[in-house]
Amino acid sequence: MTIKVKYFASLREKAQKNEEEITEVFNNAFDLYLALQEKYQFPLTVEEVKVAINGEYQNFDTALVAGDVVTFIPPVAGG
């Protein structure tokens, strides 16, 4: 299974990339985020991050399928 992962803001800085393709199998966005959090030492918990799958906000327990585009979105301060 290949999925594309996109990173924004602080997650992009920590991963040092905008996006990447992942070929490992993950049941859902929660499992994927936990693996990436460990790999890149993301400081944000799942509760602090939003997830979009194929351009639509989803819950972290949404199942992933081959070809999905998963975007992790951290809180962004503005003013």
33-62 per-position pLDDT tens digit: 999 999 999 999 999 999 999 999 999 999
pTM score: 0.92
E strands in the chain: 3-7, 19-22, 50-53, 56-58, 69-73
CB 47 within 8 A of CB 74: no
Q: How far is CA 38 from CA 24, 55, 56, 67, 77, in A?
A: 15, 25, 25, 23, 24
Give me the CATH topology for the region 3-73. Ubiquitin-like (UB roll) (3.10.20)
Q: What letter would DSSP give residue 37?
A: H
Query: Rounded to a whole number, what is the distance in angstroms from the first to the last CA of the chain?
Result: 40
5-25 per-position pLDDT tens digit: 999 999 999 999 999 999 999
Task: Map out the domains of the chain as residue ranges.
Answer: 3-73
Q: What is the pLDDT of residue 79?
A: 47
